[in-house]
């Protein structure tokens, strides 16, 4: 039994030592830019998104939509669209790009914005690259239903539809060749519904409904939040790969917080990577 305890202790000690070593290397990388060390030579090159695709996925549920006349299609699109036609793309992209660059700047790693993606350098240990290859603003309706019962056992239901809005981003990160992997991240918001029964008479229920509808301001706020999130995840990717290069291995995932320019938490790599970008 004593031998078992010793083995378990040593396993825990090695695991802790490994995590501590990983954290030391990652923290050293961040600190060298704060200290403006001579070893802080890395730079980040960014090609920001130039446009955004509008997609109304609710149209996929319209039978025979592709066979309708242009006038009929326009009528259907108008009836199913409430946000896409009111969003200013320039404001949306400005919010996303400003947030992305702001969060990156918190690291104090020099950031170079490149207007032409073809001018991005080939990524290496000293040149990090981000190329936003596509942005999409997606709107769709999703059905829902509210259920309630009276004390007498009478069941009622109220069907409704809630609008969803998703901002989707595809990007190439640290591309070392033209066949580099594409990464994906999105952020989604939705309307909310509240209902209150105001009366029950003659077997009929009267329901007072309230919908918190989405507005263009919600889309702009989502763009800002997604920009912060993408930059944060990218810094986490940089830290993970830096530790792997410095040590030859890395078993830790680092959760970065741009507000304090610090690592606020760690996790086993296999668990933490699930919170990062999706590889396409």
| Residue-wise burial string across 120-136, b where 16 or more C-beta atoms lie within 10 A, e elsewhere | beebeeebbbbbbeebe
- Helix then strand count (H, E) for the chain reads 5, 11
Which of 137, 135, 142 is closest to 51 using CA atoms?
135
pLDDT reported for residue 4: 44
Helices 216-247/2-34 angle, 10° precision: 110
pLDDT reported for residue 221: 98
Burial of residue 70 (CB within 10 Å: 0-12, 13-18, 19+) is: exposed
Residue with tokens 């769709």: 140
pLDDT reported for residue 13: 36
User: How far apart are alpha carbons 261 and 106 in whole angstroms?
Assistant: 6
Which of 169, 166, 158 is closest to 214 using CA atoms?
166
pTM of the model: 0.85
What's the gap between Cα 263 and its chain centre? 19
User: How far apart are alpha carbons 243 and 240 in whole angstroms?
Assistant: 5
pLDDT reported for residue 12: 42
pLDDT reported for residue 40: 87
For the residues of 71-98, what is the DSSP string, one character each? HHHHHHHHHH-SSGGG--HHHHHHHHHH
User: How far apart are alpha carbons 109 and 261 in whole angstroms?
Assistant: 11
Which residues are within 8 A (CB) of 175 and not within 5 positions of it... i.e. 6 or more apart? 120, 122, 123, 129, 131
Report the DSSP pairing between strands 278-279 and 252-257: unpaired
H or E segment and range at residue 39:
none
Q: What are the residue ranges in the chain where pLDDT is below 50? A: 2-17
**What pLDDT, in 10s, does the model give residues 6-29?**
333 333 433 444 567 899 999 999
- Of the chain, the percentage scoring pLDDT greater than 70 comes to 85
């Amino acid at each position: 039994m004593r031998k078992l305890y010793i083995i378990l202790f040593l396993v825990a000690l090695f695991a802790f030592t490994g995590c501590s070593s990983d954290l030391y290397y990652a923290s050293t990388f961040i600190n060298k830019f704060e200290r403006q060390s001579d070893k802080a030579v890395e730079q980040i090159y960014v090609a920001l998104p130039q446009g955004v695709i509008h997609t109304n996925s609710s149209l996929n549920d319209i039978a025979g939509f592709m066979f309708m006349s242009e006038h009929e299609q326009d009528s259907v699109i108008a009836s199913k669209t409430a946000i896409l036609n009111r969003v200013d793309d320039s404001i949306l992209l400005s919010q996303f790009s400003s947030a992305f660059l702001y969060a990156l700047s918190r690291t104090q790693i020099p950031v170079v914005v490149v207007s032409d993606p073809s001018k991005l350098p080939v990524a290496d240990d000293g040149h990090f690259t981000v190329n936003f290859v596509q942005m999409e603003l997606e709107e769709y309706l999703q059905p829902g239903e509210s259920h309630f019962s009276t004390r007498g056992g009478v069941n009622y239901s109220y069907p409704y539809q809630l609008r969803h809005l998703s901002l989707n981003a595809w990007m190439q990160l640290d591309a070392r060749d033209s066949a580099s992997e594409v990464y994906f991240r999105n952020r989604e918001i939705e309307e909310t519904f509240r209902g209150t029964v105001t009366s029950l008479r003659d077997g009929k229920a009267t329901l007072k409904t309230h919908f918190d509808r989405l507005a263009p301001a919600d889309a702009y706020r989502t763009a800002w939040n997604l920009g912060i999130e993408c930059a944060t995840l990218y810094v986490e990717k940089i830290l993970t790969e830096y530790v792997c290069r410095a040590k030859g291995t890395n078993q830790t995932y680092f959760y970065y917080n741009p507000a304090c320019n610090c690592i606020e938490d760690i996790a086993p790599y296999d668990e933490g990577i699930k919170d990062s970008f999706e590889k396409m």
